[in-house]
Amino acid sequence: MPEQHPDAEQIHLDFREHMTYGDYLQLQSLLSSQKLLSGHHDEMLFVIIHQVSELWMKLILHELKAAIVNIQRGDLSSAFKMLARVSKIQSQIIQSWDVLSTLTPAEYMEFRHHLGRASGFQSYQYRLIEFSLGRKDQRILQIYQNSPELLDTLTRALYSPSLYDVSIQALAREGLDIPSRVLERDFSQPYQPSPDVEAAWLEVYRHVDRYWDLYELAEKLVDLEDWLQQWRFRHMKTVERIIGHKPGTGGSSGVPYLKKVLDHRFFPELWDVRTKL
């Protein structure tokens, strides 16, 4: 006789009137979203890696939005959990580059031409993450002129305070000296380092017991940027490994552009303060 499952009598088998696991996750829709344009075996890898990355980025944005709201409310402890989760998500995306790097240059060239001008450079979720962290660039909006809904979403994000903006506001709420020109700045512009903000963070690091929550917030921000830079580096090296120094399909210079991006800092004072301690 075939071996019977130990929970056979309790397992639900009739789902004619009940939701299944697949129904809940909408797996039929999700797993039919890989529309390949070539007959090449490895295009499936390329599509799934990028789709999974976009799902992880959706979760990153979900957590960042909530963290920003909680910091504005003064609920830093809730924000800490969300920011810690973002760092863990980033580690997953970094590992995905290791999977994509199994794609060889010869294999990618078999289907690259099918991408046309489509490129990860156009990922609106990645741009929203950058906006959320404070890297604002109004020129990027031109890419999304053909989608009024996306353009509206990105425009609102452009003019909203970033995670770092609300963290600086938290410094001011604790009585640290932050000038109004920083607190009331045009949030659509890239953040510029401020000696006053650096002095405030330096005070936090020198008096950890007095400013424990702000100290923990600072370290969560450093974690986040550290992971993001590793994400960017692995992206750059994977691109270099697969296409060398060819231009990107979206028109960027490819690897030179990705190397230049590595020089950008989201939370500059939190890095500079380490030298001053």
**Mean pLDDT, contiguous 10-residue spans, the chain (277 residues):** 63 85 95 95 96 97 98 97 97 94 94 89 94 95 94 97 98 97 96 97 98 98 96 91 88 87 93 95
Segment holding 55, helix H or strand E: helix 43-73
- Identify whether 117 is part of a domain: yes
With CA atoms as reference, report the closest residue to 163 among 58, 247, 72.
72
Q: Model pTM?
A: 0.92
Q: Is residue 232 part of a domain?
A: yes
Please list, residue by residue across 208-237, b when 16 or more beta carbons sit within 10 angstroms of its beta carbon and e when fewer do: eeebeebbbbbebbbbbbebbbebbbbbbe
Specify the CATH number for the domain of residue 172: 1.20.58.480
47 annotated binding-site participant:
yes
Domain count, the chain: 1
The answer to whether residue 22 sits within a structural domain is: no
Residue 3: per-residue pLDDT: 63
Contact 63, 85 (CB under 8 A): yes
46 is in an annotated binding site: yes
235 among the known binding-site residues?
yes
Is the CB of residue 190 less than 8 Å from the CB of residue 137?
yes
User: Does residue 185 fall inside a structural domain?
Assistant: yes
Position 2 scores a pLDDT of 58
Query: How far is the C-alpha of 179 from the C-alpha of 184, rounded, in Å?
Result: 9
Query: Which residues fall within 8 angstroms of residue 236, CB to CB, at 6 or more apart?
Result: 255, 258, 259, 261, 262
Which residue type is seen at 237? K
To the question of whether residue 49 is assigned a binding role by annotation, the answer is yes
Does residue 17 lie in a domain region?
no
Is 112 known to sit in a ligand binding site?
Answer: yes
DSSP 200-249: HHHHHHH-TTTTHHHHHHHHHHHHHHHHHHHHHHHHHHHHHHHHTTPPPT
Q: Where are the alpha helices (DSSP H) in 74-162?
A: 76-100, 105-109, 124-133, 148-158
The verdict on residue 2 lying in a domain is: no
Q: What is the pLDDT of residue 107?
A: 95
Domain that holds residue 71: 38-245+252-275
Which single residue is written with the structure tokens 């090449």? Answer: 40
